[in-house]
C-alpha cells in the first residue's frame, strides 16, 4: 500500500459494517440502533446475573442442609450421652470395705456413677438441696435423719451426704431413707484411705510440738513448714477443712443432677437437727431475699441461739455481715457465691487456719472485696445437737441431746410455719479481722487443697 493514499473517515466506517465500533458510531446517527444495542447489553447482563443467582442459591441450599445435618448428628450424640449418664446414675455401687485399695476404688466408682436413691419414687427436680458433711458420729446422724423425715415437703428435697469416714453402719442408715431423693458422695482424700501417708499421718511427719530446729535435725518430711505458732500438722485436724472445700467443688461442679439447678444449696453437718418447717421456711426466705435483699450472699437459716425466744422470733429475719461464730450453721450458698469463692481458691487454701469457717471469714472483705452479707433467720430452723466432736471425743451423750430437742420443739410447735417472713433489722456489713488459729501451715495441705478444682 502506498503511503500517500489516505482513507476518509466516512469510508472507514463502512468497511466493516457488522463491527461493534461501527455500530456504536452508527448508533450516534441512528436512535433505533442505539436502543437495540442498550437492550442487548442489559439482556446479556441479566442472563449473567441469573446464572450467578442460581449458583448462589444452590450453594446456600447445600450449606443449610449441611448445617442441619451436623446439628442433628450432634443432637443425636447428646441424646446418647444423656442416656449413658442416666444409665450410670441407675447403677448402685456396692461399697467394698475389705481393704484400703478396695475402699478407694469404691469411692471412685460411687462418685463417678452418682446413684440417686429413690429417684424413681420422686422424679421431679428438687426445690431445695441440702448437703450434709458426715464423719463418724452415727448416733447424731440418726437424729438428723429422723428430723429430715419430719420435715414438711421433704419429698421435694435432694439430700446429699458427703462422707469422709466409711462404715456399713453409716451406709445402712442412709440407705434406709425412703422419704426423699438421696445421693451419697465420698471425700477421696480422707485419713481412712491414707492412714500411713499424706494426706493422712505418715511415719516421717514431724510430731506436732517439736521445735523447728529439732525437726530440721531429725529430717522429718515437713520440717520446713510449721504453722504460725510453730506447730506441725495433724491429719485429724486438717481433714475437716479439706473435706469442706472438696465438697463445695464437687457439689457445684460434678454432681450431674444439679447441673441445671440455680437455687441455693444448704450446707449442714451430721450433728444438726432440722425443724419440721425447714423446707417451707427456706423457700420463703429465698423469696424474701429476691424482694428485699438482692445483694445478700448467704442465707443463714440457722443460728447458735437454739430455740430461745422462738415464738417471738419465728417469722423475723435480719441482715448482717457473715460471721463464722454466728452464721456457719445451715448456710445457703448460691452458685454465684461459689464462683466468687473459687476466685479465692489460693487464698482459702493457704490461709493458716484449720477451720473452714474462720478461713471463709478471713476472705470476706479481703480477697472477696465486698464483705459477705447474710440474710439471717432470727428463729433458727437448724439446731446443733453435738456435745462432742473434733476437740471433745469422749462423754458423748446423744440421747440427752435428743431429750433437749424434743422439749424445745414442744414449746416452739405453735410458732412453726409462719405465714409471712419480715425483715426487722439491718446490721453492719464489714470485714471482721480475727487471729488465725493455725494448724494449716504445711505446703502439702495447700497444694492438695488448691488442686481440688482440677482433680476432684
pLDDT 10s digit of each residue in the chain, 456 long?
444 444 444 444 444 555 545 545 454 556 666 666 656 665 666 666 666 667 677 777 766 777 666 655 544 444 444 444 444 445 788 999 999 999 999 999 999 999 999 999 999 999 999 999 999 999 999 999 999 999 999 999 999 999 999 999 999 999 999 999 999 999 999 999 999 999 999 999 999 999 999 999 999 999 999 999 999 999 999 999 999 999 999 999 999 999 999 999 999 999 999 999 999 999 999 999 999 999 999 999 999 999 999 999 999 999 999 999 999 999 999 999 999 999 999 999 999 999 999 999 999 999 999 999 999 999 999 999 987 655 455 567 888 899 999 999 999 999 999 999 999 989 989 998 889 999 999 999 999 999 998 765
- What's the pLDDT at 61? 78
- What's the pLDDT at 13? 45
- What's the pLDDT at 60? 74
- What's the pLDDT at 67? 67
Element (H, E) at 32: helix 31-89
Range 31-51 burial, b when 16+ CB lie within 10 A, else e: eeeeeebeeeeeeeeeeeeee
With a CB cutoff of 8 Å and minimum separation 6, the contacts of 225 are: 232, 441, 442, 443, 444
End-to-end CA gap in the chain: 99
Contact between residue 433 and residue 347 where contact means Cβ atoms under 8 Å apart: no
Helices H, strands E: what count in the chain? Answer: 17, 12
Range 414-425 burial, b when 16+ CB lie within 10 A, else e: ebbeeeebebee
The C-alpha atoms of residue 353 and residue 276 are separated, in whole angstroms, by 35
The C-alpha atoms of residue 422 and residue 379 are separated, in whole angstroms, by 12
- What's the pLDDT at 84? 44
- What's the pLDDT at 87? 44
Residue matched to cell numbers 447474710: 374
Amino acid at each position: 500500500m502506498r503511503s500517500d493514499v489516505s482513507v476518509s473517515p466516512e469510508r472507514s466506517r463502512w468497511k466493516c459494517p457488522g463491527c461493534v465500533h461501527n455500530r456504536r458510531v452508527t448508533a450516534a446517527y441512528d436512535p433505533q440502533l442505539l436502543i437495540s444495542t442498550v437492550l442487548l447489553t442489559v439482556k446479556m447482563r441479566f442472563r449473567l446475573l441469573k446464572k450467578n443467582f442460581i449458583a448462589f442459591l444452590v450453594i446456600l441450599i447445600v450449606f443449610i442442609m449441611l448445617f442441619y445435618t451436623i446439628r442433628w448428628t450432634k443432637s443425636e450424640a447428646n441424646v446418647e450421652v444423656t442416656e449413658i449418664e442416666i444409665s450410670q446414675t441407675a447403677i448402685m455401687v456396692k461399697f467394698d470395705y475389705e481393704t484400703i485399695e478396695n475402699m478407694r476404688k469404691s469411692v471412685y466408682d460411687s462418685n463417678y456413677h452418682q446413684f440417686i436413691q429413690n429417684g424413681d419414687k420422686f422424679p421431679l427436680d428438687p426445690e431445695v438441696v441440702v448437703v450434709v458433711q458426715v464423719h463418724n458420729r452415727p448416733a447424731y446422724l440418726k437424729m438428723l435423719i429422723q428430723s429430715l423425715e419430719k420435715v414438711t415437703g421433704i419429698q421435694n428435697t435432694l439430700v446429699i451426704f458427703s462422707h469422709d469416714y466409711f462404715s456399713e453402719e453409716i451406709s445402712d442408715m442412709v440407705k434406709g431413707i425412703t422419704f426423699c431423693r438421696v445421693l451419697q458422695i465420698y471425700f477421696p482424700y480422707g485419713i481412712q484411705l491414707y492412714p500411713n501417708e499424706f494426706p493422712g499421718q505418715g511415719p516421717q511427719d514431724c510430731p506436732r510440738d517439736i521445735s523447728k530446729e529439732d525437726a530440721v535435725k531429725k529430717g522429718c518430711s515437713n520440717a520446713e513448714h510449721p504453722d504460725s505458732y510453730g506447730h506441725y500438722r495433724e491429719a485429724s485436724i486438717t481433714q475437716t477443712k479439706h473435706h469442706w472445700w472438696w465438697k463445695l467443688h464437687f457439689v457445684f461442679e460434678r454432681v450431674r443432677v444439679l447441673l441445671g439447678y440455680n437455687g441455693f444449696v444448704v450446707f449442714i453437718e451430721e450433728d444438726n437437727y432440722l425443724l419440721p418447717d425447714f423446707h417451707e421456711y427456706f423457700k420463703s426466705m429465698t423469696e424474701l431475699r429476691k424482694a428485699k435483699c438482692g445483694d445478700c450472699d448467704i442465707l443463714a437459716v440457722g443460728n447458735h441461739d437454739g430455740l430461745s425466744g422462738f415464738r417471738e422470733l419465728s417469722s423475723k429475719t435480719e441482715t448482717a455481715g457473715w460471721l463464722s461464730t454466728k452464721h456457719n450453721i445451715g448456710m445457703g450458698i448460691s452458685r454465684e457465691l461459689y464462683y466468687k469463692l473459687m476466685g479465692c481458691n489460693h487464698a482459702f487454701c493457704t490461709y493458716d487456719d484449720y477451720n473452714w469457717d474462720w478461713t471463709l471469714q478471713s476472705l470476706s472483705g479481703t480477697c472477696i472485696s465486698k464483705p459477705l452479707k447474710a440474710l439471717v433467720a432470727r428463729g433458727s430452723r437448724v439446731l446443733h445437737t453435738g456435745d462432742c466432736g473434733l476437740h471433745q471425743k469422749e462423754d458423748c451423750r446423744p440421747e440427752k441431746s435428743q431429750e433437749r430437742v424434743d422439749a424445745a420443739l414442744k414449746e416452739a410447735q405453735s410458732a412453726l410455719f409462719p405465714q409471712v417472713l419480715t425483715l426487722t433489722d439491718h446490721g453492719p456489713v464489714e470485714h471482721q479481722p480475727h487471729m488465725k488459729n493455725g494448724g494449716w501451715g504445711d505446703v502439702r495441705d495447700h497444694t492438695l487443697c488448691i488442686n481440688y478444682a482440677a482433680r476432684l
